Amino acid sequence: MTELAAVKAALKTQAVETPSWAYGNSGTRFKVFAQQGVPRDPWEKLDDAAQVHAFTGVAPTVALHIPWDKVEDYAALAKHAEERGVKLGAINSNTFQDDDYKLGSICHPDAAVRRKAVDHLLECVDIMDATGSRDLKLWFADGTNYPGQDDIRGRQDRLAEGLAEVYERLGDGQRMLLEYKFFEPAFYSTDVPDWGTAYAHCLKLGEKAQVVVDTGHHAPGTNIEFIVATLLREGKLGGFDFNSRFYADDDLMVGAADPFQLFRIMYEVVRGGGFTPEVAFMLDQCHNIEAKIPAIIRSVMNVQEATAKALLVDRDALSTAQASGDVLEANAVIMDAYNTDVRPLLREVREEMGLDADPMAAYRRSGWAEKIVAERVGGQQAGWGA
């Protein structure tokens, strides 16, 4: 196989998971702007996600968020997805929207609230059993707002205890992905603020516990690709929540704010052997002002472009330049790959996969956007109602 053929073959195996919540209405704490045609339930979210996969060919699974996507019959939901050509992916827990969680969930000072939170996580594993999902994604809004508010060390003990109970419940082939975030909604201390804390907990828990990197969850200027390289090296990179940010956790389309950063991350993924199904490549985005389905198609394409460029890095030339201390040549090798226009290559890849070369135009032509506006009238639109 030529090198280009190998790159194309790798691109055809790509899988980007889209989040159910990105199809619903979202906003800032100031306003949620409702859009016409937005899904009214998890079933319709899956119908939209199937469109993204139909036009890109590389978005075969959909992450659910519980309780936002609660249904009576998860096996039926999984069947609904499969009939439309997609599958259910990670189950995301939610221990941040009940009044009880004002002072935290599994780190809360009151054992009764901790119990409630852990029970929710255990319920999420029950749902995974029904959906066939591999990954339980955990993000905790836990933390404190003021020095002295709670014992930050005691909170780590409570976190470890809660996580251990859930870890024990995981079945064969199931994993927990622990997500970190440096602030928000807590403003003084956050109980899982960084990759190091997540890593320390996952290491103690065992092999089924892995760290997930949400690209919007770092302080400005953080070298995220270094974190990715380190976690891969330690066998602890479980996946990504991709999105992009200009200031805080903006949840904008991945690759929109900083495509070069996305390329650097994907290069470390490829370099570290992480371009495999063992690493879950998920989107975690909100489309507050733009049309949702095409925004998700665009995001998937942005990940594809960054991946193609990462695969095109001339690794031999790079190693040679690095070994000889040729700083400028090493940098040039990286920049050559980044500056390659991979759009013609990706058009070819899509055509070889039997897809339209231009997913955005094909979606626009399909009439789906008009169809959902006409059909989805009445009922309550999905959204997190901030």
List of residues contacting ligand PSV (CB under 6 A): 21, 92, 139, 179, 181, 214, 241, 249, 284
Residue nearer to ligand PSV on the CB measure, 220 or 354: 220
Question: Nearest approach, Cβ of 32 to ligand PSV (angstroms)?
Answer: 13
Question: Nearest approach, Cβ of 214 to Mn ion (angstroms)?
Answer: 4
Q: Cα(227)–Cα(237) distance, rounded to whole angstroms? A: 9
Cis peptide before 67 (omega within 30 of 0): yes
Cβ contacts of 48 within 8 Å, gap of 6 or more? 23, 39, 292, 293, 372
Q: Cα(317)–Cα(339) distance, rounded to whole angstroms? A: 16
Q: Which of the choices ligand PSV, Mn ion, none does residue 92 contact, using the CB cut-off of 5 to 8 A by kind?
A: ligand PSV
Q: Which of the choices ligand PSV, Mn ion, none does residue 181 contact, using the CB cut-off of 5 to 8 A by kind?
A: ligand PSV
Among 135, 284, 305, 356, binds Mn ion (CB under 5 A): 284
Question: Nearest approach, Cβ of 218 to Mn ion (angstroms)?
Answer: 12
Q: Which of the choices Mn ion, ligand PSV, none does residue 44 contact, using the CB cut-off of 5 to 8 A by kind?
A: none
Residue nearer to Mn ion on the CB measure, 268 or 284: 284
Torsion over CA: 48, 49, 53, 55 (sign): positive
Joined tokens for residue 304: 């594809």
**DSSP per position, 303-368:** HHHHHHHHHHS-HHHHHHHHHTT-HHHHHHHHHHHHTS--HHHHHHHHHHTTS-S-HHHHHHHHTH
Question: Nearest approach, Cβ of 282 to ligand PSV (angstroms)?
Answer: 9
Question: Nearest approach, Cβ of 26 to ligand PSV (angstroms)?
Answer: 9
Residue nearer to ligand PSV on the CB measure, 69 or 284: 284
Cβ contacts of 39 within 8 Å, gap of 6 or more? 23, 24, 45, 47, 48, 372, 376, 381, 382
Query: CB under 5 A: which stretch of 200-208, 278-286, 306-314, 350-358 binds Mn ion?
Result: 278-286
Residue nearer to ligand PSV on the CB measure, 249 or 356: 249
Residue of closest CB approach to Mn ion: 241
Q: Cα(287)–Cα(293) distance, rounded to whole angstroms? A: 9
Residue of closest CB approach to ligand PSV: 139
Residue nearer to ligand PSV on the CB measure, 107 or 342: 107
Closest to 142 (Cα-Cα) out of 101, 83, 91, 94: 101
Q: Cα(46)–Cα(71) distance, rounded to whole angstroms? A: 13
SS3 211: strand
Q: Binders of Mn ion among 202-241, rule CB under 5 A?
A: 214, 241
Q: Which of the choices Mn ion, ligand PSV, none does residue 175 contact, using the CB cut-off of 5 to 8 A by kind?
A: none
Q: Which of the choices ligand PSV, Mn ion, none does residue 249 contact, using the CB cut-off of 5 to 8 A by kind?
A: ligand PSV
Question: Nearest approach, Cβ of 217 to ligand PSV (angstroms)?
Answer: 7
Q: Binders of Mn ion among 236-275, rule CB under 5 A?
A: 241
Any alpha helices (H) in the chain, and if so which ranges? 3-12, 42-56, 74-83, 111-131, 152-169, 195-205, 224-233, 259-271, 292-312, 315-323, 327-338, 343-352, 359-366, 368-375
Question: Nearest approach, Cβ of 241 to Mn ion (angstroms)?
Answer: 3
Residue nearer to Mn ion on the CB measure, 150 or 284: 284
Question: Nearest approach, Cβ of 251 to ligand PSV (angstroms)?
Answer: 7
Distances (CA, A) of 99 to 96, 103, 116: 8, 9, 12
Query: CB under 5 A: which stretch of 109-117, 124-132, 281-289, 299-307 binds Mn ion?
Result: 281-289
Q: Which residues contribute to the site for Mn ion (CB under 5 A)? A: 214, 241, 284
